Chains A and B, each alone.
Chain A
Amino acid sequence: EPEVTQTPSHQVTQMGQEVILRCVPISNHLYFYWYRQILGQKVEFLVSFYNNEISEKSEIFDDQFSVERPDGSNFTLKIRSTKLEDSAMYFCASRAGLAGTGELFFGEGSRLTVL
């Protein structure tokens, strides 16, 4: 069964460092997303991406965050200068196009710990 894969599974970084989280969505999917979940809290939408541009972003997704689909397969989330409050599990998700079911397929998550 096709799946969304994310790397790394866990990253520990110092405050102020740049972090890149990588995702390989399901190959024929067209819509890509990043969500995050602070420990013990709900899953929050960060950003959606379609046709090589951001479709929608939340208030959380400020100038410190950026997304990119550099090579047609990877979908990355970059945090430019990490803060303690960026510590969370980050989930990548993808969805098929308009004719698809609307189901989001999530990766297993990348846990980011900022010290």
Chain B
Amino acid sequence: AQKVTQAQTEISVVEKEDVTLDCVYETRDTTYYLFWYKQPPSGELVFLIRRNSFDEQNEISGRYSWNFQKSTSSFNFTITASQVVDSAVYFCALTRLNSGGYQKVTFGTGTKLQVIP
């Protein structure tokens, strides 16, 4: 069974502060993908990043960075110099690649980030 835990339900930061969103996952699969999605107040799900289980390199994209650590089953997401537009619910998600190729994505419960101006 797969499970994704986002222990932080809500976080508030003041604009320009850095913030890290935690994600811990459980899976018995050796091949899997991890994702982060952003859900702004408008409701859509916006893809941010995908990582496969063989690639533990950290990634930086502008103000966003991700720290994937297989040893601790964590895939944490850091926003540097947060902005008001970063206010959203952020979901961490996990999926495996079945022999049939299709995937079921398991989402965490989300972390609501509020950036205060």
**Residues of A near any B CB (own CB < 8 A):** 31, 33, 35, 41-45, 48, 50, 55-56, 58, 89, 91, 95, 97-98, 101-109, 111
Shortest CB distance B23–A (Å): 13
A95 cross-chain contacts in B, Cβ below 8 A: 103
Asked whether any CB of chain A lies closer than 8 Å to the CB of B95, the reply is yes
Residue of B nearest to A57 (CB): B104
A41 cross-chain contacts in B, Cβ below 8 A: 109
B50 touches A48 (CB 8 A): no
B52 touches A102 (CB 8 A): yes
**Residues of B near any A CB (own CB < 8 A):** 33, 35, 37, 42-45, 47, 50, 52, 91, 93, 95, 97, 100-110
Question: B102's contact among A31, A43, A44, by CB below 8 Å, is which?
Answer: A31
B110 cross-chain contacts in A, Cβ below 8 A: 42-43
Cross-chain pair count, CB within 8 angstroms? 65
A101 cross-chain contacts in B, Cβ below 8 A: 50
Residue of B nearest to A48 (CB): B102
A45 touches B105 (CB 8 A): yes
Q: Would A42 and B101 be within 8 Å (CB), given that A104-B47, A105-B47, A106-B44 are in contact?
A: no
Q: Can you name 14 extra interface pairs (CB under 8 A) apart from A50-B102, A106-B45? A: A31-B102, A33-B105, A42-B110, A43-B107, A44-B107, A48-B102, A55-B100, A55-B102, A91-B45, A95-B103, A98-B101, A104-B95, A104-B103, A107-B44
A-B pairs with beta carbons under 8 Å apart, 26 shown: A35-B107, A41-B109, A42-B91, A42-B109, A42-B110, A43-B110, A45-B105, A48-B102, A48-B103, A48-B104, A95-B103, A97-B101, A98-B101, A101-B50, A102-B33, A102-B50, A102-B95, A102-B103, A103-B35, A104-B35, A104-B47, A104-B95, A104-B105, A105-B47, A106-B37, A109-B45
